[in-house]
Amino acid sequence: MKNILITGKNSYIGTSLENWLMREPDKYKVDTVDMKDGTWKEMDFSSYDVVFHVAGIAHIKETSDNQDLYYKVNRDLAYETAQKAKQDGVEQFIFLSSMSVYGIENGVINRDTPLKPNSAYGKSKIEAEDLINKLQDDSFTVATLRPPMVYGKGCRGNYPRLAGLALKTPVFPKVENKRSMIYVDNLSEFVKQLIDNKSGGLFFPQNAEYVNTSEMVKLIAEVHGKKILMTKLFNPLLRLLNVSTVNKVFGDLVYDMNMSEYESDYRVCGSGKSILKTEGARE
């Protein structure tokens, strides 16, 4: 029996992992804790084998007024949690970082790609990584995840925005781009395997296939019985509009697939089926 504490009560990824593990209640016991009020500091972590730290700030617009909050939550809180986990005798700490630590919007990321975060979110995550990794020793294993965009039923961020657009627009640009993404069940299975194997290190889980934005939007529309016309007429304009939003939707941004291959297969659901499951269950 593995005892797991998920920090970040009601978080999307944390809740998804809890549901995934609870399919085997004889193997896993999962608790969650709200990190917002500081009462977690009075908890005894010693009964847990693993702390999975997902608490953090994301999906809100960065401003000069909230930048300090990113560092306070995504860096300082994460480090304080890891310190407490180690002090209380927890054997494994899993930290949810982000692809944002690379600070690029277009291109292929490999193991030699430099870390150049260009947002408070990305900077706070890499600074947290650095601090937490220094705690690792023979008795305290640290696993750091840098997933690409995570999606699934009830997710937040860019995916639901695209899904909403797919249901409203009759026309959409046909582009030949590639994006790394990961379906939440694939991510949950990956974390489950980290727990089972007590693995440490830096990890880059992603779906087995890259996602094409146009194909994804078309599939979302089809699931809901909507017809959408794909056209290349807008492509010259998209190339001229070299702005962040356009790049995030229509540009190429992928992890080298070799970075995401591990001994055990964690891709329990293919990209096409995952879209069907996400949208087919949408209320």
H helix or E strand, kind and range, residue 141: strand 141-145
pLDDT per position as a tens digit, 175-198: 999 999 999 999 999 999 999 999
pLDDT band at 242 (very low <50, low <70, confident <90, very high): low
Which phi and psi (to 5°) does residue 118 adopt? Answer: -120, 20
Give counts: helices (H), strands (E), the chain: 10, 12
In a domain, 168, yes or no: no
H helix or E strand, kind and range, residue 50: strand 50-53
In a domain, 176, yes or no: no
* pLDDT score of 253 more than 90: yes
Q: How many domains does the chain have?
A: 1
In a domain, 31, yes or no: yes
In a domain, 156, yes or no: no
* pLDDT score of 63 more than 90: no
> What percent of the chain stands above pLDDT 90?
81
In a domain, 169, yes or no: no
Q: What pLDDT score was predicted for residue 193? A: 98
Q: What is the mean pLDDT of the chain?
A: 92
Question: Which letter does DSSP use for residue 91 in this model?
Answer: S
Lowest mean pLDDT segment, chosen from 10-19, 29-38, 191-200, 272-281 = 272-281
**Structural domain containing residue 101:** 2-151+182-208+255-268
In a domain, 192, yes or no: yes
User: Two tokens at 20?
Assistant: 């995934």
Lowest mean pLDDT segment, chosen from 58-62, 191-195, 232-236 = 58-62
In a domain, 275, yes or no: no
* pLDDT score of 283 more than 50: no
- Exposure string for 126-144, b = 16+ CB within 10 A, e = fewer: bbbbebbeeebeeebbbbb
Residue type, 49: D
In a domain, 100, yes or no: yes
Q: What pLDDT score was predicted for residue 282? A: 45
- Higher confidence at residue 239 or residue 224? 224
* pLDDT score of 233 more than 90: no
- Assign residue 13 the CATH number of its domain: 3.40.50.720
Q: What is the mean pLDDT of residues 207-223?
A: 94
- Higher confidence at residue 17 or residue 69? 17
DSSP codes joined into one string, 37-66: SSGGGGS--TT-SEEEE-----SS---TTT
Q: CB 82: neighbour CB atoms within 10 A?
A: 25
